[in-house]
A and B are shown apart, each in its own frame.
Chain A
Amino acid sequence: AQSVTQLGSHVSVSEGALVLLRCNYSSSVPPYLFWYVQYPNQGLQLLLKYTSAATLVKGINGFEAEFKKSETSFHLTKPSAHMSDAAEYFCAVSDTNDMRFGAGTRLTVKP
């Protein structure tokens, strides 16, 4: 069965600093991997998606994620945090049957 683990339920960075949100997955088949962002009182918005075309995936708002099969990881990064990046971020894994979400990481950006 597939599963996702997000390391760190809360991450705090200063504005302009590197953002690194960690995600490890397990899957018995080559997975589809996703990062979603959720702003308060809103639904989830797709940031990026890995589908095996390229290991480095670029998403919206300057975010990117790198698929590392040997580490079963799909960490999300952004070189320079902006105040508007403050939100909750979810990693998800999907095979042919269903999609599983991680517990989420709340990102705080300090001025």
Chain B
Amino acid sequence: KAGVTQTPRYLIKTRGQQVTLSCSPISGHRSVSWYQQTPGQGLQFLFEYFSETQRNKGNFPGRFSGRQFSNSRSEMNVSTLELGDSALYLCASAGTQGSDTQYFGPGTRLTVL
């Protein structure tokens, strides 16, 4: 089985712009979670989608949003980018919601200038 894929792998944006990141889960997986990883804050949970519905949400501002499509692919959008949004964004897929093992993609490295 192919693993979790994330596109693009690297992205450079300027403050005020918006960005959309994409995640394709492992075939058959219905849960997709997003995390932000920074040196200062570590791994922080953004949100989880299961069967096109947002099930859980972390403590991030409304500028961060996401969605999941019927084929389980997920997108994450960040509007009005700030310098502090520079991070590695990781996507993880799981067969079921919640406690099942999460399998991570390689991440998207976002740099905001």
Q: Is the CB–CB distance between A94 and B99 below 8 Å?
A: yes
Q: In this complex, what residue of B is CB-closest to A29?
A: B99
* A101 contacts chain B at the CB level, 8 A cutoff: yes
Interface residue ranges of A1-45 to B (CB < 8 Å) = 32, 34, 36, 41-45
Q: Is the CB–CB distance between A98 and B45 below 8 Å?
A: yes
Query: CA–CA, A100 to B58, complex, Å?
Result: 11
Interface size class of B (residues with CB under 8 A): 20 to 34
With both chains docked as a complex, state the minimum distance between the C-beta of A39 and any C-beta of chain B, in angstroms: 10
Interface size class of A (residues with CB under 8 A): 20 to 34
Q: What's the A-B contact tally at a CB cutoff of 8 Å? A: 48
* B98 contacts chain A at the CB level, 8 A cutoff: yes
Interface residue ranges of A59-94 to B (CB < 8 Å) = 90, 94
Q: In this complex, what residue of A is CB-closest to B91?
A: A43
Binding site for B on A (CB under 8 A): 32, 34, 36, 41-46, 49, 90, 94-101, 103-104
List 8 A–B pairs whose Cβ atoms lie within 8 Å, in order of A's numbering: A41-B109, A43-B4, A43-B90, A43-B104, A44-B104, A90-B43, A96-B98, A98-B45
